[in-house]
Amino acid sequence: MRVHDYLDHYAEQNPDSEFAVCRGERVTYREAQDQAHRVARALIAGGARLGDRVVVLQKNSIETILLFHGASRAGMVPTPLNYRLLPAEWLKICLDTQPTWFFCDAEFVPAVEEIRSQLKCVRSFITTSDKPLPGWAAFREWAHSHSARSPNVIVGEDSDSLLLHTSGTTGPPRIAALTHRALTASISQLRTVAGLRPDDRFLLVLPLCHAAGIVTMLHTISCGACLVIQRDFDPAACINTLDEEDVTVTMMVPTMIQKCLDEVANLADRSFAKLRLVIYGASPILEETVRAMMDVFGCDLAQRYGTTETLSLTWLSPDDHRLALEHKPELLRSAGHSLPGTEIQIVDRNGEFLDSGYRGEIVVRGPQLMRGYWRSGGSVEDDRLPDDWVRTGDVGFIDPDGYIYICDRMNDIIISGGENIHPREIEAVLLGHPDIDDAAVIGVPDPQWGERVKAIIVPGSEANCSAEQLIEYCRGQLAGFKVPGSVDFVHRLPRNQSGKVQKGKLREPYWLGHDRPI
């Protein structure tokens, strides 16, 4: 299977079924297939070759999904960029992946122009704007000038299907290479446990620049269901859409759920008659938030845990949630059982397997894992353990009933609102400030974002800077979600004998009383 095969199947079986809805536009499965074929043919006509990379800098839209499928049909590899990053960060990813095509929402065109002169590898720049822009082709005109017939391109299951920027699990940001086989395996696993049906209407609010959003989108299409797309997450609009579009299923990160609970008026008085399942995951969640979801939405709940490198790994089912309410409340702190075909074990620092109940690093094995980390030039580096086990970087344990619990991280990555943030990048910026002698960045608990970024600073002897000034200093050099939300000043940082900062000691006082300090 290839990721575009699902769209082709339902375009033949249920051509008039609704494929997607977004901002008043409605597209059937047959219309979606036709448009994806036009995209594929336009790419091929423009000189696209098998394996070429296609940058996608777009928010959620029908065009974004059709671009993913058209590129897949042409044998090209979508490389989505997080639109919350800075142009310099986009540039670094592009220099690593060497894309030949650049697709961009109109609102991001001015920012891309800042780095365009350095994108020598890109042959064509396409924008979703309906208005002509100098140096940019208009997406609809570009695609619709080509035939809707299927292109004659053979795409192998082991070909790359997606390159995703990730903070990784053991070092600086890297790019995970995912094949068609891996993605379709992940989709098959979710189809087994989630029970989506062709008559379902799935509210897509997760961004399509993240693995969780892409897998959710493909999973929905693989079941012949309809995608109800939100371009940007807005709590009130999200809640209204649940009713107005007869949404039956959705998935959100905890930050989105918390915003709905906190910011939408009279939420408890609403009735979500059609809603039957809310899936959550992608970042830490508080137990009280899960209980509030149960009270407000009145539908089944499920949790999905995974990483960019491994895609989905576990599933905490609706039955598990009901069991938790009845007499096993500790299950609300669990990530569930492993998905079908996925093996999960706990190992110590020597890589030896541990018995149930013992904490160690979570390692996984399964058909949905990445091919490896992309390197400039197209090769991959693979840090698998013997027998194809892959490290997650997360610390956890498995109880006697097979439930997986995530307790901490082997590394220092901060997950805030579903975004992976690497502290070293922020520390490098801080250490460039003349008034800072030493700096460490950690994640501290936050009821809205799961974690927030905190900087712990050792100021210079003659320093005269405030926390507010340092935050503003970072704001000019980092994407907004990476900027520290708070700054503490200390006389020195705790370090071990080899000189490394002991971040566990720094985090400890902030995480007291929290059951899930991941």
In this predicted model, what pLDDT tens digit does every residue of 246-256 receive, in sequence order?
A: 999 999 988 78
Confidence of residue 499 (pLDDT cuts 50, 70, 90): low
In this predicted model, what pLDDT tens digit does every residue of 310-356 receive, in sequence order?
A: 999 999 999 999 999 888 988 988 999 999 999 999 999 888 999 99
Question: Which position has the higher pLDDT, 128 or 278?
Answer: 278
Question: Which position has the higher pLDDT, 164 or 495?
Answer: 164
Amino acid at 407: C
pLDDT at 383: 66
E strand or H helix at 25: strand 25-28
pLDDT at 168: 43
pLDDT at 208: 96
Residue 170 has pLDDT above 50, yes or no: no
pLDDT at 513: 75
H-only helix segments in 79-231: 87-97, 109-113, 139-144, 180-194, 211-222
Return the structure tokens found at 429.
């910026």
Give the contacts of 220 (CB within 8 A, at least 6 positions apart). Answer: 196, 200, 202, 204, 226, 227
Confidence of residue 142 (pLDDT cuts 50, 70, 90): very high
H-only helix segments in 29-177: 29-45, 62-73, 87-97, 109-113, 139-144
453 touches 483 (CB < 8 A): yes
pLDDT at 517: 44
Average pLDDT score over residue span 358-383: 85
Least confident of 22-26, 83-87, 287-291, 359-363: 287-291
pLDDT at 379: 67
Residue 298 has pLDDT above 70, yes or no: yes
Kindly report the pTM of this predicted structure. 0.85
Residue 385 has pLDDT above 50, yes or no: yes
In this predicted model, what pLDDT tens digit does every residue of 3-19 receive, in sequence order?
A: 999 999 999 999 999 99
pLDDT at 276: 95
Average pLDDT score over residue span 26-46: 97
> How many angstroms separate the CA atoms of 137 and 275, rounded?
40
Question: Which position has the higher pLDDT, 273 or 316?
Answer: 316
H-only helix segments in 205-253: 211-222, 235-244
Give the contacts of 285 (CB within 8 A, at least 6 positions apart). Answer: 254, 257, 303, 450, 516
In this predicted model, what pLDDT tens digit does every residue of 444-460 receive, in sequence order?
A: 998 888 899 999 999 98
Q: What is the mean pLDDT of the chain?
A: 90
Domains and CATH numbers, the chain: 25-155 (3.40.50.980), 414-511 (3.30.300.30)
Q: Residue 93 half-sphere exposure, CB side, CA atoms within 13 Å?
A: 26
Confidence of residue 285 (pLDDT cuts 50, 70, 90): low
Q: Write out the DSSP string of 490-504.
A: -S---B-TTS-B-HH
pLDDT at 487: 96
Average pLDDT score over residue span 213-237: 96
Residue 258 has pLDDT above 80, yes or no: yes
> How many angstroms separate the CA atoms of 207 and 215, rounded?
11
Give the contacts of 41 (CB within 8 A, at least 6 positions apart). Answer: 74, 146, 147, 149, 151
pLDDT at 418: 82
Helices (H) then strands (E): counts for the chain: 15, 27
Residue 151 DSSP label:
P
Average pLDDT score over residue span 266-274: 85
In this predicted model, what pLDDT tens digit does every residue of 74-111 receive, in sequence order?
A: 999 999 999 988 999 899 999 999 999 999 999 999 99
Nearest CA-CA partner of 371 in 191, 174, 171, 98? 174
Q: Write out the DSSP string of 255-277.
A: HHHHHHHHHSTTGGG---SS--E
Ramachandran angles phi, psi of 176, nearest 5°: -85, 130
Confidence of residue 443 (pLDDT cuts 50, 70, 90): very high
Nearest CA-CA partner of 189 in 230, 219, 224, 160? 219
Residue 504 has pLDDT above 60, yes or no: yes
Least confident of 65-79, 181-195, 222-236, 399-413: 399-413
> How many angstroms separate the CA atoms of 317 and 323, rounded?
10
